[in-house]
Amino acid sequence: MTPFDYERATDASSAVARVVARPNAVFLGGGTNLVDHMRLGVAHPDLLVDVTGLPFARIDLMADGVVRVGAGVRNSDLAADRTIRERYPVLSQALLAGASGQLRNLATTGGNLLQRTRCAYFQDTTVPCNKRSPGSGCSAIDGYNRDHAILGASQQCVAVNPSDMAVALTALDATVIVLGPQGERRIPIGDFHRLPGDAPERDTVLGHGDLIIAVELPASRVAAHSAYYKVRDRASYAFALVSVAAALQVEDGHVQDVRIALGGIAHKPWRALRAEASLRGAAATEENFGRAAVAELADARALKHNGFKIALARNALRMVLRSLLAGAR
């Protein structure tokens, strides 16, 4: 690890100013991803501005039904929050599906959103990686890519986003509130994470010095009938092979409202807009669920080792909708 200075931020604006002032400064939340990467040599900041003491550790139910989650709320607290469990169960489940109890007690909402890919080649500074070292090549594309993307990838990068929470937030149309050098702004979750394109080194649209201060969940009837499903290689404590965050509202046997996002398959959580479009108003049947899944995965591209994810994603999508339908009855 390269040496660094450490400071505890006392307020958000000065935290932003501190980071903006030094090109190699970063914000420190729970540290569960940052410190990991610093030890691996993937990240080498020279100043850590600790933002865990800032007043962003609350979950507030606002008058208009919007829920505002402070960026400093720990993953475990967010998952256990009554309001979240009742109104956005998919978010609670997604959080609980991730990492371990100990890590969830440390990880923050903001930090989780900024979690970087777990691609083994990205994390290994002795091998080429365009995300880590633009232009050096992608070791995964012709390497061991069982964990990698089937949608939205580019020739530069086939990594996947590892966050479960972000998949749920994507299905819920959350908004990320950011304080930057130019002031506060709101970024819809769907625009927050990027596809790799020609700049895989940029995971999100944030710039240097942008600090996540909150995430807002819109009031949503359909969100109360939601679930998170995660397929992994072992029963717990593992990243998703494929995951699905879905919300479903059925009336008179027809889909009134539906939200779907897929995880483990792309550089960002994959909002399944095609599936949603095909389902809205349609009969809530196994057949239609299957059709929607096929439509969503139609452009999926297999690499050498991850072709199974295509069928797996289709199946998982169907399974979640089926179970939400059963739960709704």
Partner 1 sequence: MNIKMLETRAIGAALERMDGKAKVMGAAPYAFEHRVERPAYLCPVQSRIARGRVRAIDTSVASHVEGVIAVITHWTAPRLSSDENRELWVLQSNEVHFRGQFVAAVLADTLEAARHAADLVHVEYENGAHDVGFRADRADLYAPKAVNAGYPTDTDEGDAEAAFGAAEVRMDATYSTPMEHNQPMEPHSTIALWESDKLTLYDSTQGAHSVRTTVAKMLGLRPDQVRVISPYVGGGFGSKGEPHAHNILAALAALRAPGRAVKLALTRQQMFTLAGHRTPTIQRFRLGAGRDGRLKAIIHEVVEQTSRFEEFAEQTAVPTRLMYAAPNRRTRHRLAALDVPKPSWMRAPGETPGMFAGEVAMDELAVACKLDPIELRIRNEPEHDPESGKPWGNRHLVECLREGARHFGWSSRDPQPGRRSEMGWLIGTGVASSTYPRYVLMGSRASIRFSEDGRYHVRIGAADLGTGTWTTLTQIAADALDCAPAGIRLEIGDTDLPNATVAGGSSGISSWGWAIVAAARELRRKHGSRPSPGAEASADTPKEADDESFAQHSFGAQFAEVRVNAETGEVRVSRMLGMFSTGRIINPRLARSQFIGGMTMGLSMALHEESVMDERLGQIVNHDLAGYHIATNADVVNLEALWLDEVDGATPMGSRGIGEIGIVGAAAAIANAVYHATGKRIRNLPITPDKLLT
Partner 2 sequence: MEASITLRVDGEQRSLQIDTRTTLLDALREHLGVTAAKKGCDHGQCGACTVLLDGRRVTTCLSLAVACDGASIVTAQGLARGDTLHPVQQAFLEHDALQCGYCTPGQICSAVGMLEEAKAGHPSFVTEGLTAAPELTDGEIRERMSGNLCRCGAYVNIVAAIRDAVSKGAMS
State which of residues 28, 176, 206, 246 lies at the interface with partner 2 (CB under 8 A): 28
291 binding partner 1? (CB under 8 A) = no
# of chain residues touching partner 2 (CB under 8 A): 38
Name the DSSP letter for residue 65.
S
Residues 55-84 that bind partner 1 (CB under 8 A): none
Name the DSSP letter for residue 138.
B
**E strand or H helix at 219:** none
Q: Which two tokens stand for residue 235?
A: 């029963």
103 binding partner 1? (CB under 8 A) = no
Residues 63-102 that bind partner 2 (CB under 8 A): 76, 79-80, 82, 85-86, 89, 92-93, 96-97, 99-102
Q: How far is the CB of 316 from partner 1 (least distance, A)?
A: 7
Contact 18, 7 (CB under 8 A): yes
39 binding partner 2? (CB under 8 A) = yes
Q: Are strands 270-271 and 47-50 parallel, antiparallel or unpaired?
A: unpaired
The answer for 252, left when phi > 0, alpha when psi is -120 to 50, beta otherwise, is: left
Contact 240, 104 (CB under 8 A): no
Q: Residue 204's binding partner, choosing from partner 2, partner 1, none, with beta-carbon cut-off 5 to 8 A by kind?
A: none
Q: Are strands 25-28 and 47-50 parallel, antiparallel or unpaired?
A: parallel
Looking at beta carbons only, is 112 or 175 nearer to partner 1? 112
257 pairs with which residues across the strands? 249
**E strand or H helix at 19:** helix 12-21
State which of residues 12, 44, 105, 181 lies at the interface with partner 2 (CB under 8 A): 105
41 binding partner 1? (CB under 8 A) = yes
Q: Residue 89's binding partner, choosing from partner 2, partner 1, none, with beta-carbon cut-off 5 to 8 A by kind?
A: partner 2
326 binding partner 2? (CB under 8 A) = no
Which of 156, 157, 155, 316 is CA-nearest to residue 241? 316
**E strand or H helix at 23:** none
Cα first-last separation, the chain:
55
State which of residues 126, 183, 252, 253 lies at the interface with partner 1 (CB under 8 A): 126
Q: How far is the CB of 179 from partner 1 (least distance, A)?
A: 32
Q: How far is the CB of 73 from partner 1 (least distance, A)?
A: 24
State which of residues 57, 61, 80, 127 lies at the interface with partner 1 (CB under 8 A): 127
Question: Cα–Cα–Cα angle for 277, 283, 288, nearest 5°?
Answer: 65
Which of 146, 319, 152 is CA-nearest to residue 238? 146
Residues 233-292 that bind partner 2 (CB under 8 A): 235-237
Length of the chain: 329
Helices 308-328, 286-296: crossing angle, 10 deg rounding: 140
Residues 106-125 that bind partner 2 (CB under 8 A): 106
Looking at beta carbons only, is 22 or 232 nearer to partner 1? 232
Interatomic CA distance for residues 327 and 329, integer angstroms: 5
144 binding partner 1? (CB under 8 A) = yes
Q: Which residues bind partner 1 (CB under 8 A)?
A: 1-3, 41, 118, 120-121, 124, 126-127, 139, 142-144, 146, 231-239, 241, 308, 311-312, 315-316, 318-319
Q: Which residues bind partner 2 (CB under 8 A)?
A: 1, 3-6, 28, 31-32, 35-36, 38-40, 48, 50, 52, 76, 79-80, 82, 85-86, 89, 92-93, 96-97, 99-103, 105-106, 230, 235-237
